[in-house]
């Protein structure tokens, strides 16, 4: 996934979790939030790169959450984009 796509995923996780770390979010909800519908032929979401950076963590199969570092990253990005 591109950095831009990953930013959309991070923002979706932020919105769906209320901006809190550790809140479980299903991949299907992330897909919907970023405009992927059922049967979408694009590459399935791969959150491994975000996990490798420490921004998200897998809680169970198909369920992810922002980490404290991920929350801080999105908050900083939002702050910088508001300037």
pLDDT digits (tens, 9 = 90+) for 4-26: 888 899 999 999 999 999 999 99
The model's pTM is 0.85
Q: Cα–Cα distances in Å, from 65 out to 42, 79, 80?
A: 22, 21, 23
- Contact between 5 and 58 under an 8 Å Cβ cutoff? The reply is no
pLDDT digits (tens, 9 = 90+) for 24-70: 999 989 988 988 766 665 666 778 889 999 999 999 998 999 999 99
Sheet of strand 56-60, all strands in order from the earlier edge strand to the far edge? 25-26, 63-66, 56-60
Domain boundaries, the chain: 3-81
Answer whether CATH 1.10.10 is correct for domain 3-81. Answer: yes
């Amino acid at each position: 996934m591109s950095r831009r796509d990953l930013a959309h995923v991070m923002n979706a996780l932020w919105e769906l979790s209320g901006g809190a770390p550790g809140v479980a979010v299903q991949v299907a909800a992330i897909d919907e939030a970023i405009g992927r519908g059922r049967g979408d032929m694009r590459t399935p979401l791969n959150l491994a790169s975000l996990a490798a950076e420490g921004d998200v963590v897998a809680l169970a199969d198909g369920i992810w959450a922002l980490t404290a570092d991920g929350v801080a990253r999105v908050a900083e990005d939002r702050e910088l984009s508001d300037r």
